[in-house]
Chain A
Amino acid sequence: MVGSGGMVVMDESSCMVDVAKYFLTFLQDESCGMCVPCRLGIDRMLEIITDITEGRGTLEQIDLLEELADTVTQTSLCGLGKTAANPVLSTLRYFRNEYEAHIINKECPAGVCKALIEYSIDPEKCTGCGRCKRACIHDAISGEKKEPHVINPELCQKCGICRSECRHEAIQVK
């Protein structure tokens, strides 16, 4: 269950760890801050999930996350705190493999978590039209006209503009 219990439809391009992070960020803003488990618990859960999405996570942190989520659910003062851990608990229950992929393989299967992905251009598909080069606001793409272009990973900020501009689906996320 995420959010208020409504139905949310997502495809494989949504990273479930990132979804949990989004809901926790929202709940952290909504929390009044009166009771300890809600104020500090959500904050710490967000801290752990941020660690996982940025590639610093460990497997023990998943257990800690589950225990913390259980504590927040059982001991919070009001309904917000009692349901705050639901996005974490349900994503952990049904998409534990995504969490483990972030931690063990340091990769984001959906290609959302910026610290774990890298953009590259498939030289076979690239026609060298130059759309991506003109669109890139960080000047990270170089290449001659009608020749396959290359992304400089040091300059690339992983904004995804080039990917949406490309008409030949030549830009891959790994």
Chain B
Amino acid sequence: MLHYVTVNIDGADIKAPKGSSVLEVAIEYGICIPHLCHVPGLSDIGACRLCIVEHVTNGRSVVTTSCTLKVQEGMVIRSNTDRIKRLRHNIAELLVAEAPNSRAIQDIAVRCGVKKVRYPFRNSNCVLCGRCVRACAEIWHANAIGFVGRGKNRHVERPLNMSEEFCKQCDYCIQLCPMTIPPCDGPMKPGEEYLCGKCESQLMITEEMPLGSCAWCKLGEGFGCGRYAGAKALR
């Protein structure tokens, strides 16, 4: 039998099944918390830090990732305070400066309110969200790819850079990768990157819509975005 606990997210009392994470509960109830490395059904590692929320205990709030935070009875969560918005904006800015050549990252940046990128662009091909690595290990138990190196040199690689025999050719890693969809205007050349901001017009619509859900962003479908789920529920 499922046990339920009551949690308070952004002022709304929500009955949530015990053992689920705050992020899952929030998305299910249409509270949009931006996230990148979380994939439903896979384990959460809290690598992207975009889904940060304030967890209020005894009047003090702690910033933590909602994907790794399990619901508890009487929990108070704030996902949209000024502090969280500012921190999330800075993280999204770091991400988009690192990898502007992805519609997913550009969309996240716009959603987190990034108007201007204050760092030089870098145009890397991977943001190390670990979606592919976890999908390969947890769904297929194949472990055909993994993280190699540390710090700046961390990258995704086949074991010892050789065998393909573990790979089951399922292509699931490619489907989950946020870097596979280029921005609307096509791929950016190195040295010519910019903040796209194309999704911004859709955000304007978003704010006028009930529940803050967006019906237009196709990307949200593949990413299980809360806005998309909420929009589907409305129709």
| Chain A contacts to B: CB under 8 angstroms | 28-37, 39-41, 43-44, 47, 60, 64, 67-68, 71, 74-77
Instruction: Let me know if B91 and A37 touch, CB within 8 A.
Output: yes
Instruction: Let me know if A39 and B154 touch, CB within 8 A.
Output: yes
- Our pick among B94, B118, B119, B153 for the contact of A37 (Cβ within 8 Å) is B94
Q: Cβ of A47: which chain B residues have Cβ within 8 Å of it?
A: 119-120
Instruction: Report how many A-B pairs have Cβ atoms within 8 Å.
Output: 72
CB distance from B109 to the nearest CB of A (A): 13
Instruction: Let me know if B128 and A33 touch, CB within 8 A.
Output: yes
Instruction: Let me know if A33 and B154 touch, CB within 8 A.
Output: yes
Instruction: Let me know if A36 and B94 touch, CB within 8 A.
Output: yes
A-B contact pairs, 19 of them (CB 8 A): A28-B152, A31-B150, A32-B154, A33-B150, A33-B152, A33-B154, A35-B49, A36-B48, A36-B91, A36-B94, A37-B49, A37-B94, A39-B128, A39-B151, A40-B95, A40-B97, A71-B86, A75-B49, A77-B49
User: Known contacts A44-B94, A75-B52; is A33 also within 8 Å of B149 by CB?
Assistant: yes
A29 to B87, CA, bound (A): 24
CB distance from A66 to the nearest CB of B (A): 11
A74 to B89, CA, bound (A): 13
**Residue in chain B with minimal CB distance to A40:** B94
Per-residue CB contact flags for chain B residues 119-159 toward chain A (1 = under 8 Å, else 0) read: 11000000110100000000000000000011111100000
Q: Cβ of A44: which chain B residues have Cβ within 8 Å of it?
A: 94, 97, 119
Residue B176 interfacial (CB < 8 Å): no
Q: Cβ of A71: which chain B residues have Cβ within 8 Å of it?
A: 86-87, 90-91
- Our pick among B46, B47, B127, B151 for the contact of A28 (Cβ within 8 Å) is B151
**Residue in chain A with minimal CB distance to B130:** A34
Instruction: Let me know if B151 and A30 touch, CB within 8 A.
Output: yes
CB distance from A44 to the nearest CB of B (A): 5
Q: Cβ of B120: which chain A residues have Cβ within 8 Å of it?
A: 47
Instruction: Let me know if B90 and A77 touch, CB within 8 A.
Output: no
CB distance from A21 to the nearest CB of B (A): 16
Enumerate B147-190 residues with CB–CB distance to A below 8 Å.
149-154
Enumerate B44-69 residues with CB–CB distance to A below 8 Å.
45-50, 52, 63, 65
Q: A39-B128, A76-B49 are in contact. List 16 more A-B contacts (CB 8 A).
A: A33-B149, A33-B151, A34-B47, A35-B46, A36-B91, A36-B127, A37-B91, A39-B152, A40-B97, A40-B98, A41-B94, A47-B119, A68-B90, A71-B87, A71-B90, A75-B52
Q: Cβ of A33: which chain B residues have Cβ within 8 Å of it?
A: 128, 149-154
A41 to B98, CA, bound (A): 11
Q: Cβ of A43: which chain B residues have Cβ within 8 Å of it?
A: 152
A31 to B47, CA, bound (A): 13
Q: Cβ of B63: which chain A residues have Cβ within 8 Å of it?
A: 74-75
Q: Which 10 A-B pairs have the closest CB atoms?
A: A33-B154, A71-B90, A40-B94, A31-B151, A33-B151, A75-B49, A74-B63, A32-B150, A36-B49, A33-B150
